[in-house]
Structure 1
Amino acid sequence: MSRKVMHICLSNGWGGLEMYPSRIIPELRRQGWEAHGLALAGSRVAASLVEADITPLTVASRGKALLKVGRLLKYLKAHDIRILHCHKSSDLRLGALLVTLRPSLRLFFTDHMGVTRPKKDPYHRWAYGKVTLVFSISETTRQRNLAAFPLPPGRIRRLYLGIDPAPYAPRLTETKRQALRDSLGVPPGAVVIGLAGRLTPGKGQGLWIEALAGLAERHPALAWHGVLIGGLTAAEGSSEAFVAELHERVAELGLAERVTFAGFRADLPRLFEALDIVCVPSRNEAFGLTVIEAMAAGKAVVGANSGAIPELIDEGTGRLAAPDDPLAWRDAMGELAGDATLRQCLGEGAREKVSAHFTLNAHVQGLERAYIDAWE
């Protein structure tokens, strides 16, 4: 079979879903695949594909993509591409149309978001009927997919996301690590409690701030500093109104000197080296990429006991707390902040778990097996 695939992501956003094609394409290439991309002109997805050494086809909009289906079919034929892989449910309309016009194509779809309502009306039965296989990025999302999609269980497969652990291995000298902590406003000797992600209500930053206030009250002698990592503007994917609310609440609670808003950081693997505890209080993560990134960095993680996060964290790698219970988060953070030996043990266990179960190499091997099986 042709070892060529086109990844389709017609999105103007920028999050884990949009980053996915450019993250996996280099690994696909290393495993002998020729990858192509289709993206919206001027989008960050298109730019990321260029950075991954792919010159993507671009269209002005999803509607224009449908109008240019003839051009797309000619491109697929000219390059002998027989596998299409979509990443947004709205792109399935295009993928299904291409398969309808050229039945020899195989169509794959990764549900990055976790479907929340049934999709069994006539349109979705047609679109999903053209899909060879749906990838669910966690068992939590797979169960939702089984209930929502008009497909038999054999065409819905769990395939955990993965990362390359190597960039997350510590590499800073102690002098550089201390300089990084100083730049974040961390007092000497303080335990650094970090939270990374888009600043939007569903990511749990508000609860985290309330929990930090509780930590200060319950453990007045404990030296700690909070670091909130994430873009502060709409252009960086965050809610500016919510960011303003967080700043206001931090001031009201008297935490202005103990919480740093670090903004968007492209150097997250290095930033993890400045942290001692990483918190992920998101209410409904379909997977939890930040969780495994922090685990790969050897950090003790406190995660929400909802969504897919409990599939990633166990008692040997971190702690879980309800995403609506600031007292539970206060206690989990207090336990870890007060015990450096426990943090080290959990971090070592976390790093080993990522290497065993959540690597990019293993993820792409799963993709490759599915692509090949589709032709057997």
Structure 2
Amino acid sequence: MKVTIISHTYLEPENQKNLLALNALCDVRCILPRRGPVLIFQDYEFVESPESSHIFSSFRTFYLSKGQYIFCSLTMGLFKFKPDVINIEYNPWSLMFFQVLLYRWMFNPKSKIVCTLKKNTYRCMPGVFGRVKDLIARFSMRKVDHVIAASNMVADLCKNEFSIPARNVSVCHHLGVDVSLFNPIGEKFQGDNNPQRPMVVGYCGRFDEAKGILDIIEAVRLVKQTAKRTIILKLMGCGAYDNFLDEHLRNESQRLDWLELLSPVPNADVAKFLRTLDIFVLPSRILDDHQEHDAHALLEAMASGVACIGTKSGIIPEILGGGYGYVVNPDSPHELCDAICDLINNSRDRAMLSLRGRRKAIDEFALTKIAKKKFTIFKGIVNEN
């Protein structure tokens, strides 16, 4: 079985491990831009490695607007490779989707179109522009043979908003985690019950309104009013699009001696950061057109054996529900404060969540687990034909 995957996600070297795992099960080709932003908005340039050179093909891109581009290629490799499945990791109403749809019709019309969707909200904007977008979205969704939804929330959106039959929707997390890299071994603090040792709370990701960064700062400020132990808050990342939070957080870190700001690093180095934490917090908010999409940093923290707290936003309850972490309401620094205090004062709960989170990451989100699940989905689609 031949599968072509089209996405900028795999510019990040750590993410490429997902395709290597899938390539062990089927013949994979990945089409990606030569340069672009990934994860916490570092600008990556594609670097070919000997072990994966046969998998990846990179092309220049032509941008029509921010986030909307097409590849500068006449075939995108579809004419030569002739895949059974074309997996597009872009929204079906994007320009990229329509370019792939055209090339599929020209070069390999028997290929099945599979769309990976992470966005779990859909807002029909008012006015002519909103109406046109809605018509395009509904037209393009009818051209998709199968949807891989990154969460149950996305799957429900596809079925309820776009009337996609349940048989044409599968739930599978977007990216797996290298559980051998993200593990509790190494720089973990010793002497957990030592009251003299600082407790470290942390976050890794974008600094923007949707991520609730100000909520976690306020929550830790409240914790420090009553906590008997020294508390340190570490935030690693940067603003998504040069927003005001970058400057605001820099000013706060200079004013607050317990707040540390760390610049973003390649994903492989995030593992070292996570091992320094006692508690990981993902305080995502619910906005008009945003809820947490995939919470990949949360999965990496769980794999690293860090006790986790999240909010009831998007996919987070699906990951932490059932006793794998604390889940609180979004936009509630006081609830975050209570959860952090509870874990600081209860080393047994921290240890339990550490073990349970690590086990869930291994059993459900390891690279090989996600690769096998995607392979099963692709194989089922091809066999249907």
- TM-score, normalised with respect to structure 1: 0.83
- The residue aligned with 1:184 is none
In structure 1, the residue matched to 2:110 is 104
| Unaligned runs of at least 5 residues, structure 1 | 179-186
1:247 pairs with 2:250: yes
Mapping for residues 48-127 of structure 1, pairs under 5 Å: 48=46, 50-51=48-49, 52-53=52-53, 54-61=55-62, 65=70, 68-69=73-74, 71-72=75-76, 75-89=77-91, 90=94, 91-101=96-106, 102-117=108-123, 121-127=134-140
Following the alignment from structure 2 to structure 1, what is the Cα–Cα distance between the partners of residues 322 and 170? 27
The answer on whether the counterparts of 2:253 and 2:261 sit within 8 Å (CA) in structure 1 is no
Q: Which amino acid aligns with 1:241?
A: F
Paired letter, 1:225:
I
Q: 1:29 aligns with which of 12, 23, 34?
A: 23
2:3 corresponding residue in structure 1: 5
**C-alpha distance in structure 2 between counterparts of 1:216 and 1:67, whole Å:** 54
Rate the CA distance shift 1:238–1:83 in 2: closer, same or farther, 3 A: same
Q: Are the aligned partners of 1:108 and 1:132 in contact in 2 as well (CA < 8 Å)?
A: yes
Pick closer, same or farther for the CA change 1:130–1:41 going to 2, 3 Å.
Answer: same
1:16-51 deviation line (CA, Å, top 9, x unaligned): 9988963421111222x2322222343357844735
| Matching residue's letter, 2:263 | G
Between Structure 1 and Structure 2, how many residues are aligned?
A: 348
Q: How does 1:104-183 map to 2 (within 5 A)?
A: 104-117=110-123, 121-161=134-174, 162-172=176-186
> In the TM superposition, what is the alpha-carbon distance from 1:211 to its structure 2 partner?
0.6
Q: Is 1:203 aligned with 2:200?
A: no
Q: CA deviation at 1:240?
A: 4.7
Deviation at 1:315, TM superposition (A): 5.6
Instruction: Please report the TM-score for the alignment, with normalisation by the length of structure 2.
Output: 0.81
Q: CA deviation at 1:244?
A: 1.3
Structural mapping, 1:275-294, within 5 Å: 275-283=277-285, 284-294=291-301
Q: CA deviation at 1:167?
A: 1.0
Q: Distance in 2 between matches of 1:173 and 1:313?
A: 24
- CA offsets, 1:149-208, max 9 Å, x none? 35222212211243221111233267xx68xxxxxxxx9610110111111121111110
* C-alpha distance in structure 2 between counterparts of 1:112 and 1:214, whole Å: 34
CA distance, structure 2, for counterparts of residue 238 and residue 16 of structure 1: 21
RMSD: 2.9
Q: How does 1:344-359 map to 2 (within 5 A)?
A: 344-359=351-366
Residue 57 of structure 1: CA displacement? 3.8
Query: CA separation in 2, counterparts of 1:168 and 1:76?
Result: 35
Q: Distance in 2 between matches of 1:208 and 1:65?
A: 38
Distance 1:157 1:19, change over 3 A: farther
1:278 alignment partner AA: F
Counterparts of 1:169 and 1:66 in 2: how far apart (Å)?
37
Structure showing the higher strand proportion among its residues: 2
Letter in 2 for 1:103: P
2:36 is the alignment partner of 1:43: yes
| Cα distance in structure 1, aligned partners of 2:10 and 2:121 | 16
For the residue of structure 1 that corresponds to 2:314, the secondary structure is coil
Going from structure 1 to structure 2, the CA distance change for 1:218 and 1:125 (only over 3 Å counts) comes to same
Secondary structure of the equivalent of 2:203? strand
Determine the C-alpha separation between the residues in 1 that align with 2:118 and 2:14: 9
1:302 shift after superposition? 0.7
Aligned pair 1:328/2:330, yes or no? no
- Of structures 1 and 2, the one with the larger relative CO (CA 8 A, separation 6+) is 2
Task: State the SS of the aligned residue for 1:50.
Answer: coil
Tell me, in whole angstroms, the C-alpha distance in 1 between the residues paired with 2:88 and 2:71. Answer: 14
C-alpha deviation, 1:246, in angstroms: 2.3
1-structure distance, mates of 2:56, 2:11: 19
1:281–1:303: 8 Å Cα contact kept in structure 2?
Answer: yes
Which has the larger displacement, 117-126 or 34-43?
117-126
Measured in 1, the distance between the counterparts of 2:341 and 2:297 equals: 21
SS of corresponding position for 1:347:
helix
Deviates more, 1:20-29 or 1:325-334: 20-29
Report the CA distance between 1:98 and its aligned residue: 2.7
SS state of the match for residue 323, structure 2?
A: coil
The aligned counterpart of 1:260 is: 260
Instruction: Read off the aligned partner of 1:8 and give its amino acid letter.
Output: I
- The question of whether the paired residues in 2 share the 8 Å contact of 1:76 and 1:82 is answered with no
CA separation of 1:121 and 1:342: change in aligned 2, threshold 3 A: closer
Matched, 1:339 2:341: no
